[in-house]
């Protein structure tokens, strides 16, 4: 099965649901090379032109692979086509500040993890009001945070910055979106101990930051 055939099969399932229930984001894997990235981009643009429910493009994979400067043209073309952009960023302490600032210069709509942003990067994120995708279970299991008490979600909650609660990958982390929200409600040290009103506000922010089907885009 080709990559395009695979995407079409997945979209057939996604499009069984209403637009406000399901959409697809294509991921560019940092461990692959320019030839595959270009193929994936061309598939994404083709599906977008056809009006399929492909909503955005993501950058993920091994966070220590590839020079991210080569991705600029890929994301510029995706943005021109009306696709949303989300980037896994600053996932580990080994990711450099230079790389983080380079990724932020691509003006992404959302950021995956953003665990180790320095002060300058946080300032940019705050100024641009860029949504942070929060994956509590993933961060704990991958040990990028020591506990929920020190999780960077608190920094953004304290200033009402947009966040979206996500699973990262439901199968390997054995979680669901409902389970991630349960961590918001659970009392410390098992959760963040937020009130129902606070969790409702987080859910509203997540909804407002979702990638939407844009009518009339190429």
Q: Per-residue pLDDT tens for 26-51?
A: 999 999 999 999 999 999 999 999 99
Residue with tokens 């940019």: 124
* 188 inside domain: yes
Give me the CATH number covering residue 68: 3.20.20.140
* 7 inside domain: yes
* 126 inside domain: yes
CA dist 63 and 67 (Å) reads 10
- List strand residue ranges (DSSP E) for the chain, in order: 24-29, 54-60, 84-89, 110-113, 131-134, 163-165
* pLDDT at residue 109, rounded to an integer: 98
* 57 inside domain: yes
Q: Per-residue pLDDT tens for 130-177?
A: 999 999 999 999 999 999 999 999 999 999 999 999 999 999 999 999
* pLDDT at residue 213, rounded to an integer: 77
Q: Report, in angstroms and rounded to the nearest whole number, the Rg of the chain calculated over CA atoms.
A: 17
Domain limits for position 146? 3-208
* pLDDT at residue 212, rounded to an integer: 87
Binned at pLDDT 50, 70 and 90, residue 218 comes out as very low
15 part of the active site: no
* 214 inside domain: no
Q: Is the pLDDT of residue 61 over 60?
A: yes
* 124 inside domain: yes
Out of 5, 91, 128, 198, pick the active-site residue. Answer: 91
Look at the chain and report how many structural domains it folds into: 1
* 218 inside domain: no
* 216 inside domain: no
Residue with tokens 């977008």: 48
* pLDDT at residue 54, rounded to an integer: 98
């Amino acid at each position: 099965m080709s990559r395009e055939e695979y995407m079409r099969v997945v979209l057939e399932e996604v499009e069984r649901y209403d637009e406000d229930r399901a959409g697809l984001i294509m991921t560019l894997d940092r461990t692959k090379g320019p030839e595959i990235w270009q193929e994936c981009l061309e598939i994404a643009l083709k599906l977008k032109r056809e009006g399929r429910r492909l909503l955005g493009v993501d950058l993920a994979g091994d966070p220590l692979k590839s020079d991210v400067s080569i991705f600029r043209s890929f994301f510029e073309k995706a943005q021109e086509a009306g696709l949303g952009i989300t980037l896994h960023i600053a996932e580990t302490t080994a990711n450099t500040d230079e790389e983080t600032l380079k990724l932020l210069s691509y003006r992404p709509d959302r950021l995956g993890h953003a665990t180790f942003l320095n002060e300058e990067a946080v300032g940019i994120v705050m100024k641009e009001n860029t949504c942070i995708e929060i994956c509590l279970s993933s961060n704990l299991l991958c040990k990028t945070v020591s506990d929920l008490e020190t999780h960077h979600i608190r920094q953004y909650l304290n200033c009402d910055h947009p966040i979206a609660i996500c699973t990262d990958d439901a199968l390997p982390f054995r979680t669901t979106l409902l389970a991630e929200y349960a961590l918001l409600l659970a009392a410390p040290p098992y959760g963040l101990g937020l009130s129902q009103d606070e969790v409702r506000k987080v859910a509203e922010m997540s909804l407002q930051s979702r990638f939407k089907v844009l009518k009339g885009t190429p």
